[in-house]
């Protein structure tokens, strides 16, 4: 089993409920086990500012799924929840990002691990640090020591959903 971390974000259609639905789906993935999830955090949008604020969280998962199979499962869940890509960094009912997959480093047309922007975003780093303070990137950098470029007025807005 490989230890993975999934970033969750939503800003449409009751974002906190969307995160909970996605976490339930993660908990039921085959050959996988949901271990922990962070509190819910609110932030300003990274992209266009004419959209609602986001709700974000990070989940820790153990899985024997290969990286692309896990990505396929995450994207299938996004479709199941009705995600439609309207514009780059735009509003969405759910966004599921594979942040880390063990110590794997991977760069392909479909998937980059670690997620290529995660170290720049407070809405990833703070929830990730909350559930895995001792975590290091594959290059050895400690997650807790990273300073994001985008703060987004991040605030803890609620406890981890009951799924976790």
Query: What residues are labeled active site?
Result: 83, 92, 95, 97
CB 60 within 8 A of CB 131: yes
Give the Cβ contact number of residue 54 at 10 Å.
24
- Comparing C-alpha atoms, which of 117, 81, 83 is closest to residue 99? 117
Cα(61)–Cα(35) distance, integer angstroms:
5
Cα(76)–Cα(52) distance, integer angstroms:
24
Give the Cβ contact number of residue 46 at 10 Å.
17
* β-bridge partners, 101: 4
Give the Cβ contact number of residue 97 at 10 Å.
17
């Amino acid at each position: 089993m490989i230890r993975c971390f999934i970033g969750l974000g939503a800003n449409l259609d009751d974002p906190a409920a969307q995160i909970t639905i996605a976490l339930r789906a993660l908990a039921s993935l085959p050959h996988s086990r949901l271990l922990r999830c962070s509190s819910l955090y609110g932030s300003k949008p990274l992209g266009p500012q004419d959209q609602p604020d986001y709700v974000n969280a990070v989940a820790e998962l153990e899985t024997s799924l290969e990286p692309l199979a896990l990505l396929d499962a995450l994207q299938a869940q996004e479709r199941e929840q009705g995600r439609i890509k309207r514009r780059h960094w735009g509003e969405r009912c759910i966004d599921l990002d594979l942040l880390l997959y063990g110590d794997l480093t991977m760069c392909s047309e479909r998937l980059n691990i670690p997620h290529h922007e995660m170290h720049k975003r407070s809405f990833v780093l703070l929830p990730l640090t909350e559930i895995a303070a001792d975590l290091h990137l594959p290059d050895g950098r400690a997650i807790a020591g990273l300073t994001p470029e985008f703060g987004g007025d991040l605030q803890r807005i609620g406890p981890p959903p009951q799924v976790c």
